Amino acid sequence: MNKIILTNENIEEVIGKQMDNVATSAEIEALASWRQSSSENETYYQHLIQVNGWYTGMQYHKIDIDNAWKSVTQKIHKKERKNQAPQKIKLWSYLGYAASFLLIIGTVWQLLLPSLTQTDTNDAEHYATNHSPIDYQLKDGSIVRLSANSAMSKHGDGDRSFSFSGSANFDVIHDDAHPFTVHMDDIIVKDLGTVFDIIAQPSSDTIFVKVTEGIVQFYTSKDKGIMLEHGEEGMYIKSKNQFFKRSIDTKNQFLSIVFNDATFGDVIDHLAYSFRKNIDLENENIRQCNITVDFTKAPYSIVKEIIEETLAVTIESRNNTLVINGNGCN
């Protein structure tokens, strides 16, 4: 039996042959040895298997799935294995460098945070931030942590009723006689003894509410909406007048749904909800593209790769927003 030597040039081909059940016994043996030689090799192998799993059976109008798969593997090959010896793929080395860099940034941020945030009161009942988050103490003692580029102002005649846009954390002093309410046009969040987060960007079709303590009512002036308790998260899609609720699982964010000839507009709603992101489409025509795909507990990295390849778009993460750009099916 001829011995197979795996190189940077043939490793994807051998893995692909194994997935198609056409690999020879020599290739299977060589691949098993290659996987066992380092944790980096095994991680790379599992990633290719995972990506292929979500491509299997996927269909899309005028999309060549084989070419899409080939493109993904080429990207992985270039990014994670460029100029590497066959037995020592440095995927996690790059991630290690990135983690170290983020750790340094995080340390600097912690040192600078006191100068970037402040606790303040505002007699005019108008609160706003520019490029840095700010903590505000309201007249009733409640604390609002406004994220960058967010604003809140008094709403109507109530002392504890506010109009809001942006992203913020609310630590509310509960008062049964004087409910604390947050208004995003016709959408309302009412405190029932609570610490909660709201994401309501003006350009987004989706509003998110996450409750970390107590209970809130999430509703509109025409719909009683939903009740959210500690450990639950809600989403409201304005264009559809629909509420969704689920338990919070911040450690395992994934998309788990089957799309059968669905419009990308429907996919966007689930993307936003699953990954807790707002969606910004630079080309609104992409909403009308059709897609059929089975995402079963698919992490963001896999969803991103498949959508980019099949719809011919790019997805960029900016703060808490996924910016999607491209011509799509057009």
CATH 3.55.50.30-classified regions of the chain: 254-326
- Domain 254-326 classification at class level: alpha beta
pLDDT, position 102: 52
Please answer whether residues 211 and 228 qualify as being in contact, where contact means their C-beta atoms are separated by less than 8 angstroms.
yes
> pLDDT tens across 65-99, in order?
445 545 555 555 555 444 444 444 444 444 455 55
Is the distance from CB of 253 to CB of 299 less than 8 angstroms?
yes
DSSP string computed for 247-270:
E--TTS-EEEEEEEEEEHHHHHHH
Q: Could you give the residue range(s) of every CATH 2.60.120.1440 domain in the chain?
A: 117-247
pTM of whole model > 0.85?
Answer: no
Q: For the domain bounded by 117-247, which CATH number is listed?
A: 2.60.120.1440
pLDDT tens sequence across 160-178: 999 999 989 999 998 888 8
Distance from C-alpha of 160 to C-alpha of 157, rounded to nearest angstrom:
9
